[in-house]
Amino acid sequence: MTGMAILQPVVALAAWTMVMWFWLYGSRISSFGKVDPEELIDDPHVSLDHVLPPQVEWKAHNYRHLLQDPVVFYAITLTLAVLRLGDGLNTQVAWAYVVFRVLHSIVQTTFNQMVPRFALYALSSFCLIFLVARAALAMF
């Protein structure tokens, strides 16, 4: 169907989000022996960020990131698909967005260096801005 190719990167990013979910909970569950659950309940100033190793919590932070800006990506790609504008350049940019988000995840969850992480985030943001602009031009 015309304009529906853009749904492939949507599904790919949703699948990557589930990969990160499994990685997050797998790493947290293996670290829970180091956590006193009562301390988390009784002290509002204590969080998993304070009691689990940073490498474990990087996965949680990334999972949350995959539920922030990508929400705009999901909405705008669905809009472009409905408008039958989800082929060609729009799909290529949507795939670029997904690649940058996956690379961002890998950086954040493994060695978490700010400069490459920010560069990948910025590149993904430019892709998202482009897609929003394309949908806005078509709508208005």
Is residue 1 situated within a structural domain?
Answer: no
50, amino acid identity? H
Confidence check: pLDDT of 42 > 90: no
Residue numbers of the domain that contains 100: 7-139
Report the percent of the chain where pLDDT is more than 70: 99
pLDDT for the residue 46: 74
Confidence check: pLDDT of 1 > 80: no
Residues whose CB falls within 8 Å of the CB of residue 29, separated by 6 or more in sequence, listed in order: none
- Angstrom CA distances, 88 to 5, 31, 84, 94, 95, stand at 8, 45, 11, 10, 11
Looking at the structure of the chain, the number of domains it has is 1
pLDDT category of residue 41 using cuts at 50, 70 and 90: confident
Is residue 2 situated within a structural domain?
Answer: no
Is residue 109 situated within a structural domain?
Answer: yes
pLDDT for the residue 71: 97
Mean pLDDT of 52-74: 94
Mean pLDDT of 85-93: 97
- CATH value at residue 50: 1.20.120.550
Is residue 111 situated within a structural domain?
Answer: yes
Residues 9-31: pLDDT tens digits?
999 999 999 999 999 999 988 88
pLDDT category of residue 116 using cuts at 50, 70 and 90: very high
pLDDT category of residue 110 using cuts at 50, 70 and 90: very high
Confidence check: pLDDT of 43 > 80: no
| DSSP output for 32-96 | GGG--HHHHHH-TT--HHHHS-HHHHHHHHHHHHTTSHHHHHHHHHHHHHHTT--SHHHHHHHHH
- Angstrom CA distances, 39 to 45, 68, 73, 118, stand at 10, 29, 38, 34
Is residue 61 situated within a structural domain?
Answer: yes
